[in-house]
Amino acid sequence: MYLISALIIGMVCGAVPAIIGTLKEEMELGMLGFIASTVSAIIYDVYLAGPVAAVFAFFVLKQVYAKSAKRVLAEVIPFTPRSESEI
C-alpha cells in the first residue's frame, strides 16, 4: 500500500514540471523532472518528491528564460549584410 501511495504522490508532484515543460516547449526536461520526482517519492515520500519537482520546474523556467534572452538579442540587433555602395 505504501508503494502505491508513494507512486501517486510522486506522479502528482512530478506533473508540475512535466506540465510546465510541455507548455514552455521543454518537454525533455519536464519529463525528466516527472521521472525524478516519482523515483524520489518511492525513496522518501513527499518530503523529497516536492522539492525535486520544484527544482526541476525552476530548471525548466530558467532554460526557457535563457533561450528567450538569446532570441531577444538577435531580434534587437539584426544582422543585415552591407551593400556594395556602403563599403
**DSSP characters for 34-53?**
HHHHHHHHHHHTHHHHHHHH
Q: What is the pLDDT of residue 40?
A: 94
User: Is 59 within 8 Å of 18 (Cβ atoms)?
Assistant: no
Higher pLDDT, 81 or 21: 21
C-beta of residue 63 within 8 angstroms of C-beta of residue 30: no
Whether the CB-CB separation of 36 and 65 falls below 8 Å is answered with: no
Query: Are 6 and 41 contacting, i.e. CB atoms less than 8 angstroms apart?
Result: yes
Reported as a single tens digit per residue, the pLDDT across 45-61 is: 878 999 999 999 999 99
Instruction: Write down the pLDDT at residue 55.
Output: 95
Confidence of residue 36 (pLDDT cuts 50, 70, 90): very high
Share of the chain above pLDDT 70, in %: 78
